Structure 1
Amino acid sequence: MVRHPSAMIRAVLLDLSGVVYDGDTPVPGAVAAIGRLREAGLPVRFVSNTTRSPHAAILRRLDSLGVSAGHDDLFTPARAAVEWLSRENCVPHLLVHPDLVPEFAGNEFGDRKAVVVGDAADAFTYGTMNAAFRQLVDGAEFLALATNRTFKDADGRLSLDAGAFVAALEFAAGKQATVLGKPARDFFRSAFAGLGCTPGQAVMVGDDAESDVAGALKAGIGAGLLVRTGKYRAGDESRFAPHPTAVVEDLAAAVDWVLAHRG
């Protein structure tokens, strides 16, 4: 059953990997679909849970695919983490991908400790996990950039994402992580700040039924569209509640839906 948004659609939030592109290749029709949203006067914000690439690198990738985006059009967990660390006067103990480390450089932090965990890939070793664990039991704050279960890897298959490692540290340290990326309510709400609309007037489009779609709907976003590209697997639409507002083939079909239901 397809549910309809209860308010006029005034903004669109888009996941990136698996929705706009797969690796360095745009999803067919995605670039043109973004253009159609902009031609219709609907502002677009890109909300990604990637924790391997810094902000500037993602913007360069979008530009190489023909999608223009400014600094404030892209929201990532690393950006949220830097803001959190500065606000709370904490210095990070990083367990993240090496490519993401420069994102935290040059910022003024305090002297309290905070363990920051992202998708560290091969940097997830017993030694690095145990060092993070020891910081936590010594009283450090605990930040998870994201808690996704899986992601679609470069070989086209699903790979283990950061969520399992966050869960392991939570179990061992007996401490709950503060999640900064999707599905955190504040992350979604930060994405459309300044757009002059309410959460109920925004639509989220993603390939992750749990973090993208159910997370957005729990955050009060008016509609959540699940695309059958990227990490989507048959049956995802019924695995997590709230269920998607609609399930569509790809971003082009999602834009068709948005334009048909914008009010």
Structure 2
Amino acid sequence: MAGSGGGGGGGDVDVDGTAPQRIRGALIDLNGTLHVGDTATPGSQAALRRLRDAGVACRFVTNTTKDTISNLLALVQGLGFDISNQEVFSSLTATRRLLEARQLRPFMLLHPKALPDFEGLPTHEPNCVVVGLAKEAFTYENLNAAARILLNDPDAPLIAIHKGRLFKEPDGLSLGPGPFVVALEYATGRVAQVVGKPEASFFQLALSDLGCSPGDAVMIGDDARDDVGGAQGAGLRGLVVQTGKFRPGDEAATGGAPPAATVRDFAAAVDWILAQNAAAGGVGGG
């Protein structure tokens, strides 16, 4: 059944009255869910070990565009999480694949720390605009240059690595790239192609990498719309954690069906998964 608030315990039936379906795979958000900045959320390292020990396959999906994947991985490993590079599926990775497949030359509105993930791509005479979390690089000069590329070439696509509205920093909520993408859409009359969460294709690619069908998987994240709403739109179940950017009432803002559960934190989400699997007739197993 759908849970709420603290302990995250699962019920004996799903919301439609059927027996719970065993969860074989989990897509897990990083910043805001496993950690907030350079601090792990309570009990999350031990909870991840319990989830793996139960036989639930894991992939870590992130829209983070303010740093390279290698630096992000170093951060979470330094916090005590046993996560390998092959287990991280990023919107940066998906965007690079898109640019290479379409042979595009990007004008990058992106944080300088993330630019190494795009090394080797041609950028002369840009024929597309790519927007991530640029922070200080969101200057009038840069935004105006991006708009001119789009206005001067009707075939130049506007590509949003993601369109997140806010993200959580240690001192509070900050603007994500979404407001700046919308500004470029408004100025140029374009509609951005979004690559990362909440796009169904992003979750589908991550599940393909995991070798799991949507009905056998769950998404755990602190963003009710981009993490949970996007995943549920792709056929997964979604768990909202009350950490990171979560604010009271967010669980009602998925843009679709309510989450399968709203739980205190990642450790409570793992409790919920293991309870669901126990009710389905075996923890984690096939």
TM-score (norm 1): 0.94
Q: Following the alignment from structure 2 to structure 1, what is the Cα–Cα distance between the partners of residues 23 and 189?
A: 42
Name the amino acid aligned to 2:166.
T
* Cross-structure match for 1:183: 198
SS at match of 1:187: helix
| Equivalent pair of 2:106/2:122 in contact (CA under 8 Å) | no
* Cross-structure match for 1:203: 218
* Cross-structure match for 2:37: 23
Q: Following the alignment from structure 1 to structure 2, what is the Cα–Cα distance between the partners of residues 92 and 107?
A: 8
Higher relative contact order (CA 8 A, sep 6+): 2
Measured against aligned partners, the alpha-carbon deviations of 1:56-99 in whole angstroms (never above 9, x if no partner) come to 11111121112122222111111111100000111111001111
Q: Following the alignment from structure 1 to structure 2, what is the Cα–Cα distance between the partners of residues 109 and 191?
A: 28
1:40–1:108: structure 2 CA closer, same or farther, 3 Å change rule? farther
| Equivalent pair of 1:89/1:111 in contact (CA under 8 Å) | no
Number of residue pairs matched by the alignment: 261
Q: Following the alignment from structure 1 to structure 2, what is the Cα–Cα distance between the partners of residues 63 and 217?
A: 29
Q: Mind listing any 5+ residue stretches in structure 1 that lack a counterpart?
A: none
* Cross-structure match for 1:145: 161
Q: Following the alignment from structure 1 to structure 2, what is the Cα–Cα distance between the partners of residues 118 and 160?
A: 12
* Cross-structure match for 1:159: 174
1:121–1:194: structure 2 CA closer, same or farther, 3 Å change rule? closer
Q: Following the alignment from structure 2 to structure 1, what is the Cα–Cα distance between the partners of residues 35 and 136?
A: 23
Name the amino acid aligned to 2:276.
H
Shift of the alpha carbon at 1:107? 4.1
* Cross-structure match for 2:260: 245
* Cross-structure match for 1:123: 137
Q: Following the alignment from structure 2 to structure 1, what is the Cα–Cα distance between the partners of residues 186 and 201?
A: 24
Shift of the alpha carbon at 1:9? 1.0
Shift of the alpha carbon at 1:194? 3.5
Q: Following the alignment from structure 2 to structure 1, what is the Cα–Cα distance between the partners of residues 266 and 224?
A: 15
Measured against aligned partners, the alpha-carbon deviations of 1:182-234 in whole angstroms (never above 9, x if no partner) come to 0011111111214332111110000000100111101111x100011111100
Q: Alpha carbon RMSD of aligned pairs, Å?
A: 1.7
List 4+ stretches of structure 1 deviating above 3 A.
Answer: 3-7, 107-112
SS at match of 2:99: helix
Q: Which has the greater radius of gyration?
A: 2
Q: Following the alignment from structure 1 to structure 2, what is the Cα–Cα distance between the partners of residues 147 and 76?
A: 14
SS at match of 2:270: helix
Tell me which moved more, 65-74 or 4-13: 4-13
Tell me if 1:56 matches 2:70.
yes
SS at match of 2:143: helix
1:123–1:198: structure 2 CA closer, same or farther, 3 Å change rule? same
